[in-house]
Amino acid sequence: MNLFAIFGSGFGLYGYLPALISCQQAVVLPDRYRNRLNARPELHSYAKQVEWTADEYAALQRATGIVIALSPSQQLEWVPRCLLQSNLEYLLLEKPLAQSPQSSAALFDKLLSSGKNFRIGYTFRYTPWGKQLLTQLRCTHNVSKLSIRWFFQAHHFRHNMQTWKRSHTAGGGVIRFYGVHIIALLAEIGYSDVILSKAIGFPADECEKWQAIFTGAGLPPCEITIDSRASINQFQVVPQLASVKNVTTINLDDPFNLGNQANTCKMLDQRVPILQQLCSSLWQPNTNRYERYAAAIQLWLTVENKTVFEEQPT
């Protein structure tokens, strides 16, 4: 059993904390998170398994692993400090790794050089539909075109909140915060280029809609549409088959909807079982995982180099 410090009192608590404890790992938290944890009824059964320390630095000294579930700029600050801690063997990091693909690539190189075991929260590959898509596109040549559509209203738009998640330059926005999930999955499949990328928002730093077309050797063109300010919740993966008419293989209200693979505890966030798979991968063979991360960051960089921003009033 390892002892994981968690930095981040939001997703770090309601996502990673139950996922780690379900993986038979221990958790240490800064004391200032205590009220936030106690305020969440679904986490009460986990609270008694938490070790408390004075602050983040004390937690860092105690831990053998760390979860950083903070903003990209804060993650960029903390990771180099963590790499200097000889007691830390494992790092679980959120996406995006840093505010931009360039700064993410530089931080990724430092992580590789450290020799520490780390994972980045590109979690679409662990969803049932993500696994299906990985298998389908690797094993069939019957798909002539692919379309992925993701419509939802982001929490910060719905509640008119000023947060880094609105800001493209801070690592938020429809491409850097939401789109990187799809970019990472497409990179793993083998997509390596983008022939169109358009981001729409007003002001441009708060881009809310993204359209792109990806290409890759031996793969069908993949059209992406993400609208983070939509009036509906819908996630669709639509393959156009070479021999028959279009068939919607995936039609969900949310990409993290697990259907019959839902949580045993209905109160927990629906992403907890997916995070369990991510956490468990720390102790599995590291089969080309870091190569996948490098490909994801490179494809993200390619996307941004070709993106046209349109300031369109909402």
Domains of the chain, with CATH numbers? 3-120 (3.40.50.720), 124-258+287-310 (3.30.360.10)
Please list the ranges in the chain whose pLDDT falls under 70: 138-141, 242-248, 259-266, 313-314
Residue 246 has what pLDDT?
Answer: 55
Instruction: Give the SS3 label for residue 286.
Output: coil
Answer yes or no: are the C-beta atoms of 147 and 238 closer than 8 Å. yes
Distances (CA, A) of 76 to 80, 113, 156, 213: 7, 16, 23, 30
Instruction: Give the SS3 label for residue 194.
Output: strand
Question: By CB neighbour count within 10 A (0-12 exposed, 13-18 middle, 19+ buried), where does 48 fall?
Answer: exposed
d(CA 36, CA 32): 8
Residue 267 has what pLDDT?
Answer: 86
pLDDT, tens digit, 9 for 90 and up, residues 71-130: 999 999 999 999 999 999 999 999 999 999 999 999 999 999 999 999 999 999 999 999
Answer yes or no: are the C-beta atoms of 197 and 210 closer than 8 Å. yes
